[in-house]
């Protein structure tokens, strides 16, 4: 086990657990049923310092590392994966993109609002016909002197309606040119920037997913993050860290399902004894616990490399791939242990099961992770 159990680390974990129990747990069912995205919760997370865990102190953050960040996502997602997903998207995609590639002026302008929770962030890469195949994106930004005219629609965007700031990658060059895309940061309210359809989803229902639409949206070149033409390359680096977030999210889903199943198996009696005493049930719990531990170790390894500013492409893909697939299996087994009760909304595992599937899809499907890992192995 990677040694991360410092006093500060444990303090953060306990603070997040207490926050989730007080501010999230009482509302989980209501938010899921109504698809309510609790924007007010982000201000509370900002006040606690959660939104800036990986952001340096000079920009309003806490200046901590990825182990603390992974732990925060896990503890939030153990209570409600939807909130864990929104938290991860805000921090590792929008905020982190500005942190990694923004100018000093841009960091000073945007990061304090994002870390305090005064603003919610979104990140726009995906389009209706270009998910994994991002280099074929049709959203374009055409130069007009010192400005760019942005046209197109981004889909499946976390916080696509509620975000104050959005990092958007658009094509500024030739199709299929990896240096033909540029990242911009755009403020809600900019003329031509509107929200489109909000998705009605199977799971993660309290995490808002919607379109961002751009119709002759005029943005100044000062809104470019990094250099013109670097957007796709930047996005791939952001996704390396983002996959650690989804691995952590998967840990939370799996942990919540496992804990619920373990407690239920100790309490539920059949044939005169707790069902955990039956080998069929205990073996399921053994498999769940083992997969959860393996997922944790892979995620910790990726977090350590990220903290050390080392290449994390293969390791983050491995963590995301294994942990996401494992959390689906763990959630499914949890429903099975609960039996008929597990199929109802009166018990928590039904929601964990629905929420789990997104982890194998978001920020690169399991199949894409295999491609990333395969390329890394071949080049070693």
Query: Which of 36, 53, 28 shows the shortest CA–CA distance to 346?
Result: 28
The CA distance from 369 to 113, in Å, is 33
The neighbour count for residue 178, using CB atoms within 10 Å, is: 14
User: Around 24, how many Cα atoms within 13 Å sit in the side-chain half-sphere?
Assistant: 26
Whole-angstrom distance, CA of residue 269 vs CA of residue 254:
24
Provide the token pair at 309: 């500013």
Point out the catalytic residue in the list 208, 230, 325, 363.
Answer: 363
Report which secondary-structure segment, H or E, holds 121: strand 121-124
- Is residue 367 part of the annotated active site? The answer reads no
Using the 8-state DSSP alphabet, how is residue 127 labeled? Answer: B
Give the strand pairing for 224-225 and 121-124: unpaired
Beta bridge partners of 315: none
Q: Is 319 helix (H, G, I), strand (E, B) or coil?
A: helix
Note whether 359 and 254 are within 8 A (CB). Answer: no
Q: How many CB atoms lie within 10 A of CB 40?
A: 9
Q: Enumerate residues 6+ apart whose C-beta is below 8 A from 18.
A: none
C-alpha to C-alpha distance for 169 and 231, rounded to whole angstroms: 6
Handedness of CA 238, 125, 146, 172 (dihedral sign): positive
Token output for 55: 């952001």
| 3-class secondary-structure state, position 109 | helix
Nearest in space to 56 (alpha carbons), one of 96, 3, 1, 9: 96
Distance CA 102, CA 183 (A): 10
Closest CA to 353 of 337, 322, 330, 331: 331
Q: Which residues are catalytic?
A: 363
């Amino acid at each position: 086990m990677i040694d991360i159990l410092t006093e500060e680390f444990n303090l953060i974990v306990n603070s997040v657990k207490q926050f989730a129990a007080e501010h999230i747990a009482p509302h989980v069912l209501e938010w899921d049923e109504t698809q309510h995205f609790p924007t007010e919760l982000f201000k509370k997370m900002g006040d606690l310092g959660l939104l800036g865990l990986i952001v340096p102190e000079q920009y309003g953050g806490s200046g901590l590392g990825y182990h603390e960040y992974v732990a925060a996502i896990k503890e939030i997602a153990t209570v409600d994966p939807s909130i864990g997903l929104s938290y991860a998207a805000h921090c590792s995609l929008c905020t982190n993109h500005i942190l990694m590639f923004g100018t000093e002026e841009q960091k000073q302008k945007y990061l304090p609002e994002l870390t305090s929770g005064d603003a919610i962030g979104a990140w726009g890469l995906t389009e209706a016909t270009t998910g994994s195949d991002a280099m074929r994106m049709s959203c374009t930004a055409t130069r007009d002197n010192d400005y760019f005219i942005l046209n197109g629609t981004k889909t499946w965007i976390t916080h696509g309606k509620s975000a104050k700031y959005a990092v958007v990658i658009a094509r500024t060059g030739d199709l299929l040119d990896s240096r033909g895309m540029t990242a911009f940061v755009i403020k809600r309210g900019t003329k031509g920037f509107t929200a489109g359809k909000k998705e009605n989803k199977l799971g993660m229902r309290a995490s808002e997913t919607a379109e961002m639409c751009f119709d002759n949206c005029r943005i100044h070149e000062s809104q470019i993050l990094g250099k013109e033409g670097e957007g796709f390359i930047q996005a791939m680096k952001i996704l390396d860290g983002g996959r650690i977030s989804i691995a952590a999210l998967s840990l939370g889903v799996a942990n919540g399902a496992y804990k619920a199943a373990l407690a239920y198996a100790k309490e539920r009696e059949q044939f005169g004894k707790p069902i955990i005493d039956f080998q069929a049930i205990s073996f399921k719990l053994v498999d769940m616990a083992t997969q959860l531990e393996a997922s944790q170790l892979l995620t910790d390894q990726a977090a350590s490399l990220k903290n050390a500013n080392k290449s994390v492409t293969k390791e983050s893909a491995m963590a995301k791939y294994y942990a996401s697939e494992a959390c689906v299996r763990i959630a499914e087994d949890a429903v099975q242990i609960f039996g008929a009760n597990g199929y109802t909304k009166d018990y928590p595992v039904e929601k964990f099961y629905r929420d789990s599937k997104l982890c194998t899809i978001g920020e690169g499907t399991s199949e894409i992770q295999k491609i990333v890992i395969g390329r890394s192995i071949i080049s070693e």
